[in-house]
A and B are shown apart, each in its own frame.
Chain A
């Protein structure tokens, strides 16, 4: 069935270092891959997304790469800052034109000063 796996479940990095979170999806029909950041007690907020017709997208310190052949995509955060500490979720849209997102289990990212 539809499934998105996310690794690692927890990640601790030193401030200024880079962080990488990886996800794999099961259905090759997936065409939209957003990443959400959720701070404690707050709603998930989109930080970056990528569509299946591109392989990489960057927005300042955040980048996402997509490998359709291997069915995996990754989030890269460079020059991490304390405010990057949060839970990050990857997701995949498995139906064309629909708004059903299947989420990974989340990664708790901690930035150590």
Chain B
């Protein structure tokens, strides 16, 4: 079974621009969560999508948004980029069942650098 894939792997943008990152989950997984990883803040939850609906959202400004398509692929968008948005953005997919957390499988991440 193919793992979680993310594109692009690396991005360089300038302040004020916007960026779209893509995540393809493991086949059969319908939940996709996004995380931001930085040396200072560690791994922080951005949001989760399941069945094309945002189910949870972390404490990030509205510049961070996402969506999920009917094939479970997900995109996240960051508008009006700031220097502090430079980070590794990881997505994770899981099967998701009622009542319990399920193992999340991480993608390789997209390294975003904002200049």
Interface residues of A (CB under 8 A from B): 31-32, 34, 36, 42-46, 49, 51, 89, 91, 93, 95-106
Contact = CB atoms under 8 A, between A and B. Distances in A.
A105 to B, nearest CB: 5
Given A101-B33, A106-B42, A95 B56 contact: yes
A9 to B, nearest CB: 10
A45 B4 CA distance: 12
Interface of B: 31, 33, 35, 42-45, 48, 50, 55-56, 58, 90, 92, 94, 96-109
Given A99-B96, A99-B102, 6 more contacts: A43-B90, A96-B99, A98-B48, A99-B55, A99-B56, A103-B42
A100 B103 contact: no
A93 B44 CA distance: 13
Given A99-B31, A99-B94, A45 B106 contact: yes
Nearest to B40: A105
Contacts, number: 77
A101 B103 contact: no
A102 B33 CA distance: 12
Nearest to A43: B106
Contacts of A43: 90, 106-109
A101 B101 contact: yes
Q: Which of B31, B94, B100 has the most CB of A within 10 A?
A: B100
Contacts of B101: 31-32, 34, 49, 51, 93, 97-99, 101
Contact of A100 (B42, B56, B107): B56
A103 B43 contact: yes
Contact of A99 (B50, B98, B108): B50
A96 B56 CA distance: 12
Nearest to A32: B101
Contacts of A93: 100-101
